[in-house]
Amino acid sequence: MAKLTVEDLALAGKKVLMRVDFNVPIKNGVIGNDNRIVAALPTIKHVIKENGRAILFSHLGRIKSEDDKKELSLAPVAKRLGELLGQDVIFVPETRGAKLEEAINNLEDGQVLMVENTRFEDVKDGEFVKLESKNDPELGKYWASLGDDLFINDAFGTAHRSHASNVGIASNVDQAAAGYLMEKEIKFLGDSVEDPKRPFVAIIGGAKVSDKIEVVQALLKKADKVIIGGGMAYTFDAAKGNKIGNSLFEEDKVELAKSLMEEAGDRLVLPIDAVAADAFSNDAKTVTVDSEAGIPDGYMALDIGPKSVALFKDVLADAKTVVWNGPMGVFEMENFAKGTLAIGNDLVNVTENGGTTIVGGGDSTAAVQMLGVADKLSHISTGGGASLEYLEGKTLPGISSLSNK
Ligand code: AMP
């Protein structure tokens, strides 16, 4: 990799600033899912093993008022991290000041300290000043001054944002390196867009054309096939002149859909049938119809149908690289989850046949976890928005601010 990684740093005896992504679901101080904490353990353990002094920064949720701070302290996260590491994590409930500086200066080799939620800096005396989220130059400089000129960024989930705790610190230290998790994300996503094993198939689903159009356009330049599913497929269907009933529809995207279909020809693969329901409910009355026959009046398409499942399976059969982002239907309801779950199983086959499979986005990740196949795929990206922007070919400031080797 062209960027410095954690293995390039001499950590012994050094105060090492680290940006991790501990933005976990939390309610009344109870952590719903600690996947993100677990994902950062290899890098933190490396710093401990090398006798560095780890100083961790993360955001948690969004802070827009003083009130938000009551719910969104990182204290429970620091406690959980301590349990996972099997050693105490010193938690400082401040984002700056003498108490924090003293705790950092008292650190011993191999100890871990966690700073309070970086987004507490977004609200000062009740004002929404966004010092963290707007990458306030003074704040990045101050946080950088707390360490020994070493920074490790392992927070891929925020790499598409320019914040004080990632870009700000990185710009004010001698060496800014990628952690193991960041390195893995760059390797898998980077290879898939720069030098994919072919055939390279991208699968894009989800609700809206407008949210995913840039990634579809970018992937059509790189992939051999782009499969489209989910609610966004019906704007394409309408553009073909098919009846779509009450399905999701973005009228202002019809012309764009038409021109994309013309340009891409058979490289753009759309559903050929649908499971449509007479209400947005798991218990609704359903019919399975061919797209060309049209969705009946009063019905909305909530999943791809069995013919589309078979078509997509066929397209994926000899794929050597697959990138998947977004569900094929309203998979949160059991009766409309079949299409999404089928894709999850297809990806297992691709991996077993020696292909590389990459899943990004919360919903697709939830689907492969629901199926229990997450560990049978090559890579589950930890960043939904960040992975989409990477696939679009955009420069991610959290990555570009790291030092070159
Ligand atoms: P996104 O955030 O754009 O990836 O969209 C994910 C959401 O799209 C999920 O909550 C799905 O329930 C929803 N979705 C997928 N297919 C459909 C559909 N055919 N109709 C309505 N919503 C859908």
Closest by CA position to 165, among listed 17, 288, 31 = 17
Q: List C-alpha distances in Å: 152 to 12, 166, 171, 364, 381.
A: 14, 9, 12, 28, 19
Q: What is the pLDDT of residue 385?
A: 86
- What residue type is 385 in one-letter code? G
Report yes or no: 5 and 177 within 8 Å, Cβ to Cβ.
Answer: yes
Tell me the per-residue pLDDT of 228-258, one tens digit each, with 9 for 90 and over.
999 999 999 999 999 999 999 999 999 999 9
Report CA(275)–ligand 1 centroid distance (Å): 14
Q: What is the pLDDT of residue 216?
A: 93
Report CA(141)–ligand 1 centroid distance (Å): 41
What Rg value do the Cα atoms of the chain yield, rounded?
A: 23
Pocket test for ligand 1, best of 333, 335, 363 (most atoms within 8 A of CB): 363
What DSSP string describes 232-289? THHHHHHHHT---TTS---GGGHHHHHHHHHHHGGGEE--SEEEEESSSSTTS-EEEE
CA-to-CA distance for 181 and 203, rounded, in angstroms?
Answer: 24
Report CA(362)–ligand 1 centroid distance (Å): 12
Q: What is the pLDDT of residue 362?
A: 82
Q: Is 333 in the pocket of ligand 1 (CB under 6 A)?
A: no
CA-to-CA distance for 71 and 73, rounded, in angstroms?
Answer: 6
Annotated catalytic residues are 36, 208, 362, 385
Report CA(29)–ligand 1 centroid distance (Å): 30
**β-strands 127-128, 123-124: how paired?**
antiparallel
Q: Which residues are annotated as a binding site for substrate?
A: 21-23, 36, 59-62, 119, 161
Q: What is the pLDDT of residue 193?
A: 83
Q: Does domain 196-391 have CATH number 3.40.50.1260?
A: yes
CA-to-CA distance for 227 and 324, rounded, in angstroms?
Answer: 9
- Residue in the block written with tokens 């320019």: 162
Report CA(165)–ligand 1 centroid distance (Å): 32
Nearest CA to ligand 1 atom 5: 206
Q: Which is more confident, 213 or 108?
A: 108
**β-strands 26-27, 175-178: how paired?**
unpaired
Q: Which CATH number fits domain 6-182: 3.40.50.360, 3.20.20.80, 3.30.1960.10, 3.40.50.1260?
A: 3.40.50.1260
Nearest CA to ligand 1 atom 18: 231
Report yes or no: 320 and 351 within 8 Å, Cβ to Cβ.
Answer: no
The model's confidence at residue 211, banded by pLDDT at 50, 70 and 90, is confident
Residues in the chain: 405
Decide: residue 351, CB within 10 A, 0-12 exposed, 13-18 middle, 19+ buried.
middle
Q: Is 339 in the pocket of ligand 1 (CB under 6 A)?
A: no
User: Atom of ligand 1 at shortest distance to CA of 208?
Assistant: 3
Report yes or no: 59 and 158 within 8 Å, Cβ to Cβ.
Answer: yes
Helix, strand, coil % in the chain, rounded to nearest 5: 45, 20, 40
CA-to-CA distance for 18 and 389, rounded, in angstroms?
Answer: 23
Q: What is the pLDDT of residue 208?
A: 84
User: Atom of ligand 1 at shortest distance to CA of 331?
Assistant: 12
What DSSP string describes 331-365? TTSGGG-HHHHHHHHHHHHHHHTT-EEEEESHHHH
Tell me the per-residue pLDDT of 14-25, one tens digit each, with 9 for 90 and over.
999 999 999 999
CA-to-CA distance for 282 and 338, rounded, in angstroms?
Answer: 13
For the chain, what percent of residues have pLDDT higher than 70?
100
**Can you say how many angstroms the Cα of residue 162 is from the centroid of all Cα atoms in its chain?**
16
Q: What is the pLDDT of residue 236?
A: 96
- What residue type is 14 in one-letter code? K
Report yes or no: 310 and 269 within 8 Å, Cβ to Cβ.
Answer: no
Q: Is 231 in the pocket of ligand 1 (CB under 6 A)?
A: yes
Nearest CA to ligand 1 atom 1: 206
Which segments of the chain belong to CATH 3.40.50.1260? Answer: 6-182, 196-391
Report yes or no: 358 and 381 within 8 Å, Cβ to Cβ.
Answer: yes
Asked whether the predicted pLDDT for residue 194 surpasses 90, the reply is no
Q: Which residues are annotated as a binding site?
A: 21-23, 36, 59-62, 119, 161, 212, 332, 361-364
Q: Is 248 in the pocket of ligand 1 (CB under 6 A)?
A: yes
Tell me the per-residue pLDDT of 55-110, one tens digit each, with 9 for 90 and over.
999 999 999 999 999 999 999 999 999 999 999 999 999 999 999 999 999 999 99
Asked whether the predicted pLDDT for residue 400 surpasses 90, the reply is yes
Q: What is the pLDDT of residue 1?
A: 62
